[in-house]
Structure 1
Amino acid sequence: MTPTRCNWANSANPRYVDYHDHEWGVPCHDERKLFEMLNLEGAQAGLSWETILNKRDTYRAAFDDWDAEKIAVYDADKVAALLADAGIVRNRLKVAAAITNAQAYLRLRAQGSSLDQLLWAYVDGTPIVNPGAERIVTTALSDRISKDLAKLGFKFVGSTIIYAYMQAIGMVDDHAPDCFRHHSAPRA
């Protein structure tokens, strides 16, 4: 029997279904993954998440497995190579944002903090569980985090992107009430 999922995850794409079933809404505290997802959510702006998810493995290879120290020093040749890579979104602003984000992330770490500490402090380490009945795209909290990240120098961190990011890294659980991954449902 096929489990009931959120409507957006009822796809024929096994990668998309797996993402829903095992990643989306699951609290993440892994620094590299937090950095990766921040950049992938920014890359998704104006596109479907499924498109980005299908390019995720290529993104990892193209961006040195999301090693911020390597990305922060990408030069013009590396940028040109990225813009020629059909396996990622070839948008100059989004590529530049990943480099800028790596630099902002390294500054954050140099100050003795991390994405994990910064982000999870907004929710006191506990995910926000929404009833899942309505589609939310921004909140006062995503507005605040967006502004704070922008002040730290991060790019492609608008409130809608940040709310999707919060869902992706499990700061928010927005699974539909009838979804088997809803907070009140038994976890697989």
Structure 2
Amino acid sequence: MAKVLVLYYSSYGHIETMANAVAEGARAAGAQVDVKRVPETVPEEIAKGAHFKLDQAAPVASIADLEHYDAIVIGTGTRFGRMSSQLAAFLDQAGGLWMRGALNGKVGAAFVSTATQHGGQETTLFSIITNLLHFGMVVVGLPYSHQGQMSVDEIVGGAPYGATTIAAGDGSRQPSEIDLAGARHQGEIVAKTAAKLFG
């Protein structure tokens, strides 16, 4: 049974919701799945003032956790077209794992949220994917077997590089069923790929 970690940072809960959908898809494909989040770096009083969602159920991950999984799926909201500083600060601590090649050959994937349809979804995905490749991981995207990403009938997330959602500038839009289906599908593909490599 493949062991999958869904690792995320979510200020307002959109990526938390997507992370749980990724985990659902991976579990449905037979994987053992943990959902963890990276530490918050914003002082608590500022986070409360900005209405961050601070009651997230997922435990906080440590860098030492990462090498114990066959696959790691990483999600974050965008910050000006790249990953959040919270996620970057966490991954920047993984130099020891990189030096030892501890993640070489493991499966990696990315998912993100932006305020707008063209607000850096693909560049934010690639800011994560770049890290995954430096760690020596085998990258899994979101192929067009998730047909929902091709819809033009409504606002939809999704790219061949990973599952996405659009939150709106005020955060009022929650992940749609198409967005969540993309996240579940990516989780399923990650789990199946890890099972083939490590099963």
Higher relative contact order (CA 8 A, sep 6+): 1
- TM-score tier, shorter chain, comes to under 0.3
Higher strand share: 2
Q: Which has the higher helix share?
A: 1
TM-score of the pair, normalised by structure 1: 0.28
